Amino acid sequence: MKIQVGKTSGFCFGVRNAVDKTNEILKKEQNKKIYCLGELVHNKTIVNQLKKDGLIFIDTIEQAEDTTIIRAHGVEKKVYEIAKKKNIDLIDLTCPSVLRIHKIAEEYALENYYIFLIGKKEHPEIIGTYSFCGKNASIISEIEDVDNAINNLKESNLNKLLIIVQTTYSTKVFDEIVKEIQEKIPQNISIEVKNTICRATELRQEETKKISKEVDLMIIIGGKNSSNTNKLYEIAQKECKNTIFIENSEELDKEKILKFEKIGIMAGASTPQKSIDEVIKLLE
């Protein structure tokens, strides 16, 4: 059996930074309540361990009483305002790439641009970013949403459009949606496209596609609620008919795996190295 592990597998900078700093805070402030607004990252293994270590997960800033961590995906603009009124000590561990998009959205909204935000409506990153886009913005989750977004743009009477995208979105789908917009947009509207997909995400998607073409079985490791890991699964499925998506080694069917000679492994940006190593160990 030959095992090929993606070099870009596992933690990206934003996730590593959030996890490492949270662990540091928990060790330093052992006698203090530390809250986290939403899941720090989309991975059950990490979240469960942080709970054991004393981190208190909350759904709204109103539930916070003291020191509160902002997760890697970022939060809505109003969270900062509410925290300030409540004198909550915020520790902002939002991924720098996400913070950059917030800044871009805010600046362009002030310049009277209509904003098309491409990404999954229900994803926490999109929910947060949308709040920085001002009143003239539409979320495009898939190509079918383009017509409605263009109608909203026309009704706004603005003639400048900014297109930005979720950091973990599919590069291929993003390009397809931008092309659709460019073909349908009125000629009097100027368009500025900013591909804000994280470079680490792009490299991971490219490597997943490459490895999937070369193996008999592709294993994608990561949280089932992780957007970037789901994208890797979709990419791998198109290139390798035998593709499975697991959160940890316990989900592997050992009997089925034995019939494959070349196995590829790729893991999402919020997948800890321990989960990857356990899968490799089981295969070996």
Query: Which strands, in side-by-side order, build the sheet including 90-92?
Result: 56-58, 35-37, 68-70, 90-92
Q: In angstroms, rounded to a whole number, what is the distance separating the alpha carbons of residues 72 and 86?
A: 22
Query: Please, which residues have CB within 8 angstroms of residue 92's CB and are 6 or more apart in sequence?
Result: 70
Tokens of 17: 């930074």
Tokens of 154: 């026309």
**pLDDT averaged per 10 residues, the chain (length 284):** 95 94 94 94 93 96 95 96 95 96 98 97 96 98 97 97 96 96 96 95 96 98 93 96 96 90 96 95 92
Q: In angstroms, rounded to a whole number, what is the distance separating the alpha carbons of residues 241 and 238?
A: 7
Catalytic residue positions, numbered = 125
Q: What is the pLDDT of residue 31?
A: 87
Nearest to 21 by CA among 76, 91, 90: 91
Query: What global pTM score does this model have?
Result: 0.89
Query: Which helix (H) or strand (E) segment is 161 a member of?
Result: strand 160-165
Q: Which amino acid is at 7?
A: K
Q: In angstroms, rounded to a whole number, what is the distance separating the alpha carbons of residues 215 and 253?
A: 18
Q: What is the pLDDT of residue 117?
A: 98
Nearest to 276 by CA among 1, 30, 8: 8
Q: What is the pLDDT of residue 260?
A: 95
